Structure 1
Amino acid sequence: MGALASLIASIVSGEASEAIARARRKAIVYLAAGLFCLCGVSFLIVAGFIAAAREIGAVEAALAFAGGFIVVALLLLGISSITARARERRVARRRKSEARALAGAAAFAMLPTLLASRKAGLALVVPAVAALAWAVMRENTPPTDGADNSPD
Protein backbone atom coordinates (compact mmCIF):
# COMPACT_ATOMS: atom_id res chain seq x y z
CA MET A 1 0.00 0.00 0.00
CA GLY A 2 2.86 2.37 0.80
CA ALA A 3 4.45 1.84 -2.60
CA LEU A 4 1.19 2.71 -4.34
CA ALA A 5 0.83 5.90 -2.28
CA SER A 6 4.44 6.81 -3.06
CA LEU A 7 3.85 6.23 -6.78
CA ILE A 8 0.69 8.38 -6.77
CA ALA A 9 2.45 11.14 -4.81
CA SER A 10 5.39 11.18 -7.24
CA ILE A 11 3.03 11.36 -10.24
CA VAL A 12 1.01 14.18 -8.69
CA SER A 13 4.08 16.15 -7.62
CA GLY A 14 5.67 15.61 -11.04
CA GLU A 15 2.56 16.92 -12.77
CA ALA A 16 2.44 19.87 -10.41
CA SER A 17 6.07 20.79 -11.08
CA GLU A 18 5.47 20.45 -14.84
CA ALA A 19 2.44 22.74 -14.57
CA ILE A 20 4.48 25.29 -12.63
CA ALA A 21 7.25 25.15 -15.24
CA ARG A 22 4.72 25.62 -18.07
CA ALA A 23 3.16 28.58 -16.26
CA ARG A 24 6.60 30.14 -15.72
CA ARG A 25 7.50 29.74 -19.42
CA LYS A 26 4.17 31.26 -20.49
CA ALA A 27 4.64 34.19 -18.11
CA ILE A 28 8.10 34.90 -19.56
CA VAL A 29 6.82 34.69 -23.14
CA TYR A 30 3.83 36.96 -22.38
CA LEU A 31 6.10 39.48 -20.63
CA ALA A 32 8.45 39.59 -23.63
CA ALA A 33 5.52 39.89 -26.06
CA GLY A 34 4.05 42.70 -23.96
CA LEU A 35 7.35 44.60 -23.96
CA PHE A 36 7.69 44.27 -27.74
CA CYS A 37 4.08 45.38 -28.18
CA LEU A 38 4.75 48.40 -25.96
CA CYS A 39 7.79 49.29 -28.09
CA GLY A 40 5.71 48.95 -31.26
CA VAL A 41 2.95 51.19 -29.92
CA SER A 42 5.57 53.74 -28.82
CA PHE A 43 7.05 53.86 -32.32
CA LEU A 44 3.56 54.25 -33.81
CA ILE A 45 2.91 57.21 -31.52
CA VAL A 46 6.28 58.77 -32.41
CA ALA A 47 5.60 58.27 -36.12
CA GLY A 48 2.19 59.88 -35.72
CA PHE A 49 3.77 62.80 -33.90
CA ILE A 50 6.39 63.26 -36.64
CA ALA A 51 3.70 63.20 -39.33
CA ALA A 52 1.56 65.67 -37.39
CA ALA A 53 4.57 67.92 -36.77
CA ARG A 54 5.27 68.06 -40.50
CA GLU A 55 1.66 69.01 -41.25
CA ILE A 56 0.80 71.45 -38.45
CA GLY A 57 4.10 72.29 -36.76
CA ALA A 58 6.01 70.84 -33.83
CA VAL A 59 4.42 72.90 -31.05
CA GLU A 60 0.90 72.40 -32.33
CA ALA A 61 1.47 68.65 -32.74
CA ALA A 62 2.88 68.43 -29.21
CA LEU A 63 -0.15 70.28 -27.83
CA ALA A 64 -2.54 68.08 -29.80
CA PHE A 65 -0.87 64.87 -28.60
CA ALA A 66 -0.77 66.14 -25.01
CA GLY A 67 -4.47 67.02 -25.16
CA GLY A 68 -5.28 63.64 -26.68
CA PHE A 69 -3.42 61.76 -23.96
CA ILE A 70 -5.08 63.86 -21.24
CA VAL A 71 -8.52 63.12 -22.71
CA VAL A 72 -7.74 59.38 -22.80
CA ALA A 73 -6.53 59.52 -19.18
CA LEU A 74 -9.69 61.35 -18.06
CA LEU A 75 -11.86 58.83 -19.91
CA LEU A 76 -10.07 55.94 -18.22
CA LEU A 77 -10.49 57.55 -14.79
CA GLY A 78 -14.18 58.22 -15.42
CA ILE A 79 -14.86 54.68 -16.60
CA SER A 80 -12.95 53.29 -13.63
CA SER A 81 -15.00 55.42 -11.23
CA ILE A 82 -18.29 54.35 -12.81
CA THR A 83 -17.38 50.66 -12.72
CA ALA A 84 -16.14 50.94 -9.12
CA ARG A 85 -19.47 52.42 -8.01
CA ALA A 86 -21.37 49.70 -9.85
CA ARG A 87 -19.17 47.06 -8.24
CA GLU A 88 -19.76 48.57 -4.78
CA ARG A 89 -23.53 48.52 -5.33
CA ARG A 90 -23.35 44.91 -6.50
CA VAL A 91 -21.29 43.92 -3.44
CA ALA A 92 -23.70 45.75 -1.12
CA ARG A 93 -26.68 43.93 -2.67
CA ARG A 94 -24.89 40.61 -2.31
CA ARG A 95 -24.02 41.31 1.34
CA LYS A 96 -27.61 42.31 2.05
CA SER A 97 -28.83 39.11 0.41
CA GLU A 98 -26.34 37.04 2.39
CA ALA A 99 -27.40 38.75 5.63
CA ARG A 100 -31.04 37.94 4.89
CA ALA A 101 -30.17 34.33 4.15
CA LEU A 102 -28.15 34.11 7.35
CA ALA A 103 -30.97 35.63 9.39
CA GLY A 104 -33.44 33.22 7.81
CA ALA A 105 -31.19 30.25 8.51
CA ALA A 106 -30.67 31.37 12.10
CA ALA A 107 -34.41 31.81 12.58
CA PHE A 108 -35.07 28.41 11.05
CA ALA A 109 -32.44 26.84 13.31
CA MET A 110 -34.00 28.46 16.40
CA LEU A 111 -37.53 27.41 15.46
CA PRO A 112 -37.51 24.01 17.25
CA THR A 113 -36.23 25.63 20.42
CA LEU A 114 -38.85 28.37 20.30
CA LEU A 115 -41.66 25.95 19.53
CA ALA A 116 -40.68 23.67 22.42
CA SER A 117 -42.83 25.65 24.83
CA ARG A 118 -46.50 26.23 24.07
CA LYS A 119 -46.39 29.88 25.15
CA ALA A 120 -43.47 30.67 22.81
CA GLY A 121 -45.20 28.83 19.96
CA LEU A 122 -48.28 31.02 20.37
CA ALA A 123 -46.07 34.11 20.50
CA LEU A 124 -44.60 33.10 17.12
CA VAL A 125 -47.94 32.40 15.45
CA VAL A 126 -49.38 35.89 15.98
CA PRO A 127 -46.57 37.81 14.16
CA ALA A 128 -46.51 35.18 11.41
CA VAL A 129 -50.25 35.59 10.80
CA ALA A 130 -49.86 39.39 10.84
CA ALA A 131 -47.02 39.22 8.30
CA LEU A 132 -49.09 36.91 6.09
CA ALA A 133 -52.10 39.25 6.28
CA TRP A 134 -49.92 42.24 5.42
CA ALA A 135 -48.44 40.41 2.41
CA VAL A 136 -51.91 39.44 1.15
CA MET A 137 -53.16 43.01 1.62
CA ARG A 138 -50.15 44.43 -0.21
CA GLU A 139 -50.58 41.96 -3.06
CA ASN A 140 -54.25 42.81 -3.53
CA THR A 141 -54.00 46.61 -3.15
CA PRO A 142 -53.76 48.45 -6.50
CA PRO A 143 -50.79 50.79 -6.99
CA THR A 144 -51.36 54.41 -5.97
CA ASP A 145 -49.29 56.05 -8.70
CA GLY A 146 -52.27 57.97 -10.06
CA ALA A 147 -52.55 55.91 -13.22
CA ASP A 148 -55.78 54.15 -14.08
CA ASN A 149 -54.79 50.49 -14.22
CA SER A 150 -58.31 49.14 -14.63
CA PRO A 151 -58.86 46.94 -17.69
CA ASP A 152 -61.22 48.45 -20.28
Structure 2
Amino acid sequence: MGMLATLISALASGETVAAIRRARTAAIVYAIAALAAFCGLGFLIGAAYIWAAGLYGPMLASIGFGVGFLVVAGLILLIHWISAGSRARRRARRRNADMKAIGITAALAVLPALLKGKGGLGVVLGPAVALAAYAIYRENTKPRADDGSDEK
Protein backbone atom coordinates (compact mmCIF):
# COMPACT_ATOMS: atom_id res chain seq x y z
CA MET A 1 0.00 0.00 0.00
CA GLY A 2 2.93 2.31 0.72
CA MET A 3 4.17 1.97 -2.87
CA LEU A 4 0.80 3.05 -4.23
CA ALA A 5 0.71 6.04 -1.89
CA THR A 6 4.20 7.07 -3.03
CA LEU A 7 3.17 6.80 -6.67
CA ILE A 8 0.01 8.84 -6.13
CA SER A 9 1.87 11.53 -4.19
CA ALA A 10 4.53 11.71 -6.92
CA LEU A 11 1.82 12.19 -9.54
CA ALA A 12 0.10 14.82 -7.43
CA SER A 13 3.29 16.78 -6.80
CA GLY A 14 4.13 17.12 -10.46
CA GLU A 15 7.33 15.12 -10.14
CA THR A 16 6.26 12.90 -13.03
CA VAL A 17 5.79 15.87 -15.34
CA ALA A 18 9.26 17.13 -14.44
CA ALA A 19 10.75 13.68 -15.10
CA ILE A 20 9.04 13.54 -18.51
CA ARG A 21 10.41 17.00 -19.36
CA ARG A 22 13.93 15.94 -18.38
CA ALA A 23 13.66 12.77 -20.48
CA ARG A 24 12.36 14.73 -23.50
CA THR A 25 15.17 17.30 -23.17
CA ALA A 26 17.77 14.54 -22.90
CA ALA A 27 16.33 12.79 -25.97
CA ILE A 28 16.49 16.01 -28.01
CA VAL A 29 20.09 16.68 -26.92
CA TYR A 30 21.15 13.12 -27.78
CA ALA A 31 19.42 13.32 -31.18
CA ILE A 32 21.23 16.57 -32.03
CA ALA A 33 24.55 15.10 -30.87
CA ALA A 34 23.98 11.97 -32.99
CA LEU A 35 23.14 14.12 -36.01
CA ALA A 36 26.36 16.11 -35.55
CA ALA A 37 28.34 12.87 -35.15
CA PHE A 38 26.87 11.47 -38.39
CA CYS A 39 27.76 14.69 -40.23
CA GLY A 40 31.32 14.47 -38.92
CA LEU A 41 31.54 10.84 -39.94
CA GLY A 42 30.29 11.73 -43.41
CA PHE A 43 32.96 14.42 -43.82
CA LEU A 44 35.65 12.00 -42.63
CA ILE A 45 34.51 9.41 -45.19
CA GLY A 46 34.51 12.13 -47.86
CA ALA A 47 38.03 13.15 -46.90
CA ALA A 48 39.19 9.53 -47.02
CA TYR A 49 37.64 9.19 -50.49
CA ILE A 50 39.39 12.34 -51.73
CA TRP A 51 42.70 11.07 -50.36
CA ALA A 52 42.18 7.60 -51.95
CA ALA A 53 41.10 9.17 -55.25
CA GLY A 54 44.31 11.21 -55.28
CA LEU A 55 46.38 8.06 -54.78
CA TYR A 56 44.52 5.50 -56.92
CA GLY A 57 42.17 7.48 -59.13
CA PRO A 58 38.45 8.18 -58.76
CA MET A 59 37.18 4.91 -60.27
CA LEU A 60 39.36 2.61 -58.15
CA ALA A 61 38.62 4.65 -55.00
CA SER A 62 34.84 4.41 -55.66
CA ILE A 63 35.07 0.66 -56.19
CA GLY A 64 37.17 0.24 -53.05
CA PHE A 65 34.78 2.26 -50.89
CA GLY A 66 31.76 0.44 -52.32
CA VAL A 67 33.27 -2.98 -51.67
CA GLY A 68 34.38 -1.89 -48.20
CA PHE A 69 30.90 -0.75 -47.22
CA LEU A 70 29.34 -3.94 -48.62
CA VAL A 71 31.78 -6.04 -46.57
CA VAL A 72 30.92 -4.07 -43.43
CA ALA A 73 27.18 -4.56 -44.11
CA GLY A 74 27.71 -8.29 -44.65
CA LEU A 75 29.67 -8.63 -41.42
CA ILE A 76 26.96 -6.82 -39.47
CA LEU A 77 24.28 -9.13 -40.88
CA LEU A 78 26.41 -12.23 -40.22
CA ILE A 79 27.00 -11.24 -36.59
CA HIS A 80 23.29 -10.54 -36.14
CA TRP A 81 22.38 -13.92 -37.67
CA ILE A 82 24.86 -15.79 -35.45
CA SER A 83 23.72 -14.06 -32.27
CA ALA A 84 20.00 -14.62 -33.03
CA GLY A 85 20.16 -18.16 -31.65
CA SER A 86 21.53 -17.08 -28.28
CA ARG A 87 18.94 -14.30 -28.06
CA ALA A 88 16.14 -16.82 -28.73
CA ARG A 89 17.46 -19.16 -26.03
CA ARG A 90 17.71 -16.26 -23.56
CA ARG A 91 14.11 -15.23 -24.33
CA ALA A 92 12.92 -18.83 -23.85
CA ARG A 93 14.68 -19.10 -20.48
CA ARG A 94 13.18 -15.78 -19.37
CA ARG A 95 9.72 -16.87 -20.54
CA ASN A 96 10.03 -20.17 -18.65
CA ALA A 97 11.12 -18.38 -15.49
CA ASP A 98 8.21 -15.94 -15.81
CA MET A 99 5.71 -18.76 -16.31
CA LYS A 100 7.12 -20.63 -13.33
CA ALA A 101 6.83 -17.49 -11.17
CA ILE A 102 3.23 -16.95 -12.32
CA GLY A 103 2.40 -20.57 -11.52
CA ILE A 104 3.92 -20.36 -8.05
CA THR A 105 2.11 -17.09 -7.37
CA ALA A 106 -1.22 -18.56 -8.50
CA ALA A 107 -0.66 -21.65 -6.36
CA LEU A 108 0.15 -19.57 -3.30
CA ALA A 109 -2.92 -17.41 -3.89
CA VAL A 110 -5.22 -20.45 -4.06
CA LEU A 111 -3.58 -22.33 -1.16
CA PRO A 112 -5.59 -20.75 1.69
CA ALA A 113 -8.88 -21.49 -0.06
CA LEU A 114 -7.86 -25.10 -0.67
CA LEU A 115 -6.80 -25.61 2.93
CA LYS A 116 -10.17 -24.33 4.20
CA GLY A 117 -12.15 -26.56 1.81
CA LYS A 118 -13.54 -30.10 2.29
CA GLY A 119 -10.39 -32.06 1.48
CA GLY A 120 -8.12 -29.79 3.44
CA LEU A 121 -4.47 -30.75 3.35
CA GLY A 122 -5.05 -33.83 1.14
CA VAL A 123 -6.22 -31.64 -1.75
CA VAL A 124 -2.93 -29.74 -1.62
CA LEU A 125 -0.52 -32.58 -0.89
CA GLY A 126 -1.69 -34.94 -3.67
CA PRO A 127 -0.80 -32.67 -6.62
CA ALA A 128 2.29 -31.37 -4.79
CA VAL A 129 3.67 -34.90 -4.40
CA ALA A 130 2.87 -35.66 -8.05
CA LEU A 131 4.64 -32.48 -9.15
CA ALA A 132 7.70 -33.30 -7.04
CA ALA A 133 7.82 -36.84 -8.46
CA TYR A 134 7.60 -35.51 -12.01
CA ALA A 135 10.37 -32.98 -11.32
CA ILE A 136 12.61 -35.73 -9.95
CA TYR A 137 11.85 -37.90 -12.99
CA ARG A 138 12.65 -35.05 -15.42
CA GLU A 139 15.90 -34.28 -13.59
CA ASN A 140 17.11 -37.87 -13.71
CA THR A 141 16.30 -38.66 -17.35
CA LYS A 142 18.70 -37.73 -20.12
CA PRO A 143 17.30 -35.93 -23.17
CA ARG A 144 17.66 -37.92 -26.39
CA ALA A 145 19.08 -36.41 -29.56
CA ASP A 146 16.22 -36.76 -32.06
CA ASP A 147 17.84 -34.61 -34.74
CA GLY A 148 18.87 -37.63 -36.85
CA SER A 149 22.61 -37.16 -36.36
CA ASP A 150 24.80 -40.12 -35.49
CA GLU A 151 26.57 -38.99 -32.32
CA LYS A 152 28.98 -41.47 -30.77
State the TM bucket, normalised to the shorter chain. 0.5 to 0.7
Partner amino acid, structure 2, of 1:68: G
Q: Confirm or deny: 8 A CA contact 2:53 2:61 kept in the other structure.
A: yes
Q: Following the alignment from structure 1 to structure 2, what is the Cα–Cα distance between the partners of residues 77 and 31?
A: 25
Residues of 2 paired with 1:27 and 1:41: CA distance? 21
Counterpart residue identity of residue 135, structure 1: I
Partner of 1:95: 95
1:121 to 2:122 alignment? yes
Distance in 2 separating the partners of 1:127 and 1:107:
10
Which amino acid is 2:56 matched to? I
Amino acid at match of 2:100: R
**TM-score, normalising length from structure 1?**
0.58
Q: Deviations over 1:68-111 (max 9, x none)?
A: 11111122223333444433322221111121222233334444
Contact 2:53 2:60 (C-alpha < 8 Å) held by counterparts: yes
TM-score (ref. length: structure 2): 0.58
| Residues 1:58 and 1:135: Cα distance change in structure 2 (over 3 Å) | same
Which residue is equivalent to 2:71?
A: 71
SS at match of 1:101: helix
Amino acid of the structure 1 residue aligned with 2:38: L
Q: Which runs of 5+ in 2 are unaligned?
A: 1-8, 143-152
Paired letter, 1:99: M
Aligned equivalent of 1:59: 59
- In the alignment, structure 1 segments of 5+ residues that lack a partner are 1-7, 144-152
Equivalent residues of 1:114, 1:121 under 8 A apart: no
Whose radius of gyration is greater, 1 or 2? 1
The alignment-based identity, stated in percent, is: 38
Output the aligned Cα RMSD: 4.3
Q: Deviations over 1:39-68 (max 9, x none)?
A: 221111111111111222221111110011
CA distance in 1, matches of 2:33, 2:134: 66
Name the CA shift for 1:62/1:93 in 2 (closer, same or farther; >3 Å). Answer: same
